Amino acid sequence: MSRKYIINPVTGALDAIDVAASGGGSYNVDKITLNATNISNKSVTLSATPSTIADTRLIVIEGIEQEFSVDFTVGGATLSWNGLGLDGILADGDKIIVIFN
C-alpha cells in the first residue's frame, strides 16, 4: 500500500488515502498563504520544479480546483497566473494548495 492525497471538496482539506502500489511516484504538496508580493508578482515559488508541469494541480481553499494553462501556468519552480484566469481574483491572505510530481 502507498499513501496518496486528495482534496476533500467539502472542506478543502488535504485527505490521505491508502492505495495499492502501482508504480506511481510521490507528490509534492505545497500549502501556500499568498502575500502582497505574490499578488503583485502574480506568482509563487514552489518547493521544487514539477517533473510534468501539465499535471500540476492548484486548489484555492474555499474555492475550486483551477485548470492548468487556463487559470495558471508553471515555468521551472515558478507558478504564475499573470494574464490567466486567476489574474485579478487571488488576494493577499488567500490560501492555495499546489500538488505536483
Q: Where are the beta strands (DSSP E) in 8-42?
A: 14-19, 28-33
Please give the model's pTM, rounded to 2 decimal places: 0.77
pLDDT in tens, 52-82: 999 999 999 999 899 999 999 999 999 999 9
Does the structure show a pLDDT above 60 at 84?
A: yes
Q: Where are the alpha helices (DSSP H) in the chain?
A: 36-41
More confident residue, 93 or 21: 93
% of the chain residues with pLDDT over 70: 76
Report, as an integer, the average pLDDT of 23-28: 70
The one-character DSSP state at 85 is: T
Q: Where are the beta strands (DSSP E) in the chain?
A: 2-7, 14-19, 28-33, 43-45, 57-60, 65-66, 73-75, 78-80, 95-100
Report, as an integer, the average pLDDT of 13-19: 63
